[in-house]
């Protein structure tokens, strides 16, 4: 269909609108779907890390090279277990900003209660009705 009529041919198919037609074109012409790669974390780790406020390309490269951090989840873990604080350039203010940015980006809401070790507990929103809670093993 795409070879014969292009985007218009795809758009004429039932249930296919302009956005899905463009996505199909990307899959057919390039063999990949950029949005899928970004969602799955297949993007360049340095670019992904540098997308957070407070982390530029140079700091993102250092985090990747020195701490082997490739994902936002790994960065979040490093922020809470003290590894980020061990890297030069991470003061309390920058670290707090990165934790906050990660919480928003990863869909977590920080609560005020702290565990014995001082690691914040999180609740992760799963759509509007479900919530699942995880922590570091402290009493709830």
pLDDT over 50 at 4, yes or no:
yes
Write down the pLDDT at residue 35.
Answer: 73
**pTM exceeding the 0.75 threshold for the entire prediction:** no
Query: Quick check: 124 pLDDT over 70?
Result: no
Using one digit for the tens of pLDDT, what is the confidence trace for 40-96? 655 688 888 888 888 989 999 999 999 999 888 999 999 999 898 888 878 889 899
Average pLDDT estimate for 115-136: 41
Joined together, the tokens standing for residue 69 give 């951090």
Q: Which residue has better confidence, 136 or 100?
A: 100
- Which domains are assigned to the chain? 2-39 (no CATH), 43-134 (1.10.150.20)
């Amino acid at each position: 269909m795409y070879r014969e009529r292009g985007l218009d041919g795809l758009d004429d198919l039932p249930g296919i609108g302009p956005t899905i037609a463009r996505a199909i074109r990307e899959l057919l012409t390039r063999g990949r779907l950029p949005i899928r790669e970004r969602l799955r974390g297949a993007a360049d780790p340095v670019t992904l890390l540098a997308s957070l406020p407070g982390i530029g390309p140079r700091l993102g490269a250092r985090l990747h090279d020195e701490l082997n951090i490739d994902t936002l989840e790994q960065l979040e873990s490093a922020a809470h277990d003290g590894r980020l604080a061990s890297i030069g350039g991470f003061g309390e203010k920058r670290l707090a900003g990165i934790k906050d940015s990660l919480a928003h980006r990863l869909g977590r809401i920080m609560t005020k209660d702290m565990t014995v070790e001082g690691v914040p507990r999180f609740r992760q929103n799963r759509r509007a009705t479900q919530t699942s809670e995880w922590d570091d093993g402290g009493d709830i």
